């Protein structure tokens, strides 16, 4: 259930205020008031911003002692964030950009041609929110408690081949990509292929609905659940910024939850490698040919090497087809190296399969004895159609025994419907703004909103073919809107935003023994409130972290 249903784009709106940095230096030593009384007595001042397209006016470090003349006060709530004095704001942005560069909070710069293929070429800081976003602690705990239940649910659904094939049978007729995935799954069923070691690195995405105050699931990602590496770092950035400026802002870094997502994902991969029980093997990361988010992936490789002494290799599907071979015992060799675990950071979108070569590689991996993350059945269990099927009455009971667990999951389900539900389709045509149309696609930028929902539904009704099976309808979630400060390409601007919380989870089972079923940190993605689509790598969202309230 891949990309975010409401996603994040930094579209410029009339409310957006841009600024560039003044040349006057700011003295760090004078930013922190002497005591809390001083904090309460200081006032914010409001400033307009000047547009800026470069970093040439960034302030230099203060090299002399002087009075910090700008007056600030502590933030009563995070909602006061737009009232931070400009001079202080400039300083925080400057330090955030330096910190990001020094700590690897980076992505490839799209303006540099080789940035997606050659490491270290064309780096730019990851798009970020300058300060963490508020999130209720009760809903944070609820999201964390759901992780182990969803992990178990995915595993049990993956084992029910008949359910997967039947649930996706109409989708197969309408969607070529899903059809090819189902063909591979069907071949594995015919082979009676057993995955004795099953590894899932998942991310369940939620929004907090403003009207109902309910935490509602947007989707559950079972393939290429990205940003575990960088999420950990942005949480550390925000924590360090609040350690430095928290007293002046009236914010406490201890209210940012600990986030070790990169380390924990790496630990789960290492445990799967250990269970494979061949110390001469490697973990293979399946990557896209051009990957500007490679540093998020490389952080996992660093943790695997330093903490677990496990070697990783990076290969595209085309390279796997060219260099891969299957030995008689099922061992997968790629470029002469035995592979214990295959970690997919590609293969979730049709553009990853431009030819039969890539499909042959996917089949080769699936036929092998290597641990797949995800296996084809885990991949299919994460499709939007399966998400919609699980929301039907009495379907969860097919896979889960605990009534309390079932109730917890049902509570977070948004409305989900098939397009063969004529009453819902009629309502969506009449009130399209209350619905989202989702195809069976991952990665952001695929969903249909607003009047396009009505137009698409009317067209599908007129054509009367099976194309409607390629979509589901979902209740549109309307989360709270709050002020934030975005930083992208070294340029900062104020706007109003909404956020999506993703909770990472790891699940590892060997035969009947569950080895790992853990919550593994989180991803907070924030976008301007006027945007529909989401995804940081897709260019819509920024990375953020949580400030518990």
348 is known to lie in a ligand binding site: yes
440 is known to lie in a ligand binding site: yes
Identify whether 174 is preceded by a cis peptide bond (ω within 30 of 0).
no
443 is known to lie in a ligand binding site: yes
Strand 416-418 and strand 435-439: the pairing is: unpaired
337 is known to lie in a ligand binding site: no
Report the candidate in 258, 24, 241 with the shortest Cα–Cα distance to residue 130: 241
Report the distance separating Cα 409 and Cα 544, nearest Å. Answer: 25
Does 203 participate in catalysis according to the annotation?
yes
426 is known to lie in a ligand binding site: no
Report the candidate in 347, 310, 315 with the shortest Cα–Cα distance to residue 334: 315
221 is known to lie in a ligand binding site: yes
Report the distance separating Cα 202 and Cα 507, nearest Å. Answer: 8
Does 368 participate in catalysis according to the annotation?
no
Helix (H, G, I), strand (E, B) or coil at 53: coil
Does 219 participate in catalysis according to the annotation?
yes
Residue-level length of the chain: 549
* Helix residue ranges, H only, 369-438: 376-381, 384-390, 403-412, 422-430
Catalytic residue among 247, 525, 529, 545: 525
Bridge partners of 484, per DSSP, are 495
195 is known to lie in a ligand binding site: no
513 is known to lie in a ligand binding site: no
Long-range contacts of 390-394 (CB under 8 A, 24+ apart): 390/153, 390/157, 391/415, 391/416
476 is known to lie in a ligand binding site: yes
347 is known to lie in a ligand binding site: yes
362 is known to lie in a ligand binding site: no
Q: Are 265 and 251 in contact (CB under 8 A)?
A: no
Catalytic residue among 195, 219, 275, 319: 219
Does 384 participate in catalysis according to the annotation?
yes
76 is known to lie in a ligand binding site: no
Catalytic residue among 115, 442, 454, 529: 442
Q: Are 323 and 334 in contact (CB under 8 A)?
A: yes
Bridge partners of 202, per DSSP, are 505
224 is known to lie in a ligand binding site: yes
14 is known to lie in a ligand binding site: no
Which tokens in the block code for residue 10?
């930094």
503 is known to lie in a ligand binding site: no
Catalytic residue among 203, 263, 385, 509: 203
291 is known to lie in a ligand binding site: yes
Report the candidate in 482, 503, 506 with the shortest Cα–Cα distance to residue 155: 506
Catalytic residue among 6, 115, 151, 226: 226
Residue 107 CB-half CA count within 13 A: 25
Catalytic residue among 263, 271, 438, 494: 438
Does 442 participate in catalysis according to the annotation?
yes
203 is known to lie in a ligand binding site: yes
Q: Are 97 and 60 in contact (CB under 8 A)?
A: no
Q: Are 382 and 220 in contact (CB under 8 A)?
A: yes
Strand 491-510 and strand 133-135: the pairing is: unpaired
345 is known to lie in a ligand binding site: yes
388 is known to lie in a ligand binding site: no
Catalytic residue among 3, 221, 231, 301: 221
445 is known to lie in a ligand binding site: yes
CB neighbour list of residue 433: distance below 8 Å, 6 or more residues apart: 449, 450, 476
Residue 365 CB-half CA count within 13 A: 33
519 is known to lie in a ligand binding site: no
Q: Are 361 and 317 in contact (CB under 8 A)?
A: yes
411 is known to lie in a ligand binding site: no
532 is known to lie in a ligand binding site: no
546 is known to lie in a ligand binding site: no
Q: Are 503 and 519 in contact (CB under 8 A)?
A: yes
Strand 435-439 and strand 471-475: the pairing is: antiparallel
Report the distance separating Cα 78 and Cα 58, nearest Å. Answer: 26
Does 438 participate in catalysis according to the annotation?
yes
Helix (H, G, I), strand (E, B) or coil at 221: strand
Report the distance separating Cα 475 and Cα 214, nearest Å. Answer: 13
539 is known to lie in a ligand binding site: no
198 is known to lie in a ligand binding site: no
Catalytic residues: 203, 219, 221, 226, 384, 438, 442-443, 525
**Where is the binding site for Mg(2+), in residues?**
219, 221, 442
**Where is the binding site for substrate, in residues?**
203, 223-226, 291-293, 297, 345-348, 525, 536-537
**Where is the binding site for ATP, in residues?**
219, 384, 438-447, 449, 474-477, 500, 527, 533
**Where is the binding site, in residues?**
203, 219, 221, 223-226, 291-293, 297, 345-348, 384, 438-447, 449, 474-477, 500, 525, 527, 533, 536-537
């Amino acid at each position: 259930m891949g990309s975010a249903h409401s996603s994040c784009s930094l579209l410029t709106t009339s409310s957006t205020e841009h600024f560039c940095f003044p040349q006057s230096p700011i003295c760090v030593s004078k930013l922190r008031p002497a005591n809390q009384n001083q904090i309460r007595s200081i006032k914010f001042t409001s400033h307009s911003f000047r547009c800026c397209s470069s970093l040439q006016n960034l302030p230099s470090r203060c090299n002399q002692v002087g009075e910090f003349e700008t007056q600030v006060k502590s933030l009563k709530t995070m909602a006061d964030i737009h009232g931070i004095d400009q001079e202080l704001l400039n300083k925080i942005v400057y330090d955030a950009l330096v910190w990001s560069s020094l700590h690897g909070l980076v992505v490839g710069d799209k303006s540099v041609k080789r940035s997606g293929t050659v490491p270290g070429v064309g780096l730019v800081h990851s798009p970020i929110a300058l300060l963490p976003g508020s999130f209720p602690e009760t809903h944070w705990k609820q999201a964390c408690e759901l992780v182990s239940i969803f992990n178990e649910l995915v595993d049990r659904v993956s084992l029910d081949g008949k359910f997967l094939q039947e649930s996706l049978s109409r989708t197969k007729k309408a969607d070529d990509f899903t059809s090819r995935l189902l063909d591979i799954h069907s071949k594995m069923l015919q082979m009676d292929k057993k995955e004795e070691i099953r590894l899932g690195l998942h991310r369940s995405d939620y929004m907090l609905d403003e009207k109902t105050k309910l935490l509602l699931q947007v989707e559950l990602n079972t393939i290429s659940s990205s940003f575990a590496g960088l999420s950990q770092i942005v949480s550390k950035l925000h924590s360090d910024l609040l350690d430095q400026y928290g007293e002046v802002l009236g914010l406490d870094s201890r209210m940012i939850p600990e986030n070790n997502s990169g380390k924990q994902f790496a630990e789960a991969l290492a445990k799967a490698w250990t269970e494979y029980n061949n110390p001469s093997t490697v973990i293979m990361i399946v990557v896209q040919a051009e990957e500007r988010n490679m540093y998020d992936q490389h952080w996992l490789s660093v943790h695997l090497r330093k903490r677990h002494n496990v070697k990783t290799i990076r290969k595209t599907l085309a390279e796997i087809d060219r260099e891969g071979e299957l030995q008689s015992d099922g061992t997968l060799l790629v470029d002469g190296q035995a592979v214990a675990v295959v970690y997919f950071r590609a293969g979730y979108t049709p553009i990853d399969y431009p030819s039969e070569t890539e499909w042959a590689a996917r089949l080769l991996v699936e036929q092998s004895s290597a641990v797949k993350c995800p296996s084809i059945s885990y991949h299919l269990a994460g499709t939007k159609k399966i998400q919609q099927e699980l929301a039907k009455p009495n379907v969860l009971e097919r896979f889960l025994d605990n009534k309390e667990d079932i109730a917890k999951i049902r509570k977070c389900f948004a409305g989900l419907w098939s397009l063969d539900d004529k009453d819902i389709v009629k309502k969506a045509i009449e009130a399209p703004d209350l619905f989202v149309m989702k195809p069976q696609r991952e990665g952001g930028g695929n969903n249909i909103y607003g009047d396009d929902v009505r137009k698409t539904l009317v067209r599908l009704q007129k054509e009367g073919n099976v194309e409607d099976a390629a979509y589901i309808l979902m209740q549109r979630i309307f989360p709270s809107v709050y002020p934030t400060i975005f930083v992208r390409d070294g340029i900062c601007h104020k706007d109003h935003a909404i956020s999506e919380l993703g909770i990472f989870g790891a699940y590892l089972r060997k035969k009947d023994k569950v080895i790992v079923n853990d919550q593994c940190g989180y991803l907070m993605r924030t976008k301007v409130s006027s945007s529909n689509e989401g995804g940081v790598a897709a260019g819509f969202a920024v990375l953020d972290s949580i400030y518990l309230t």
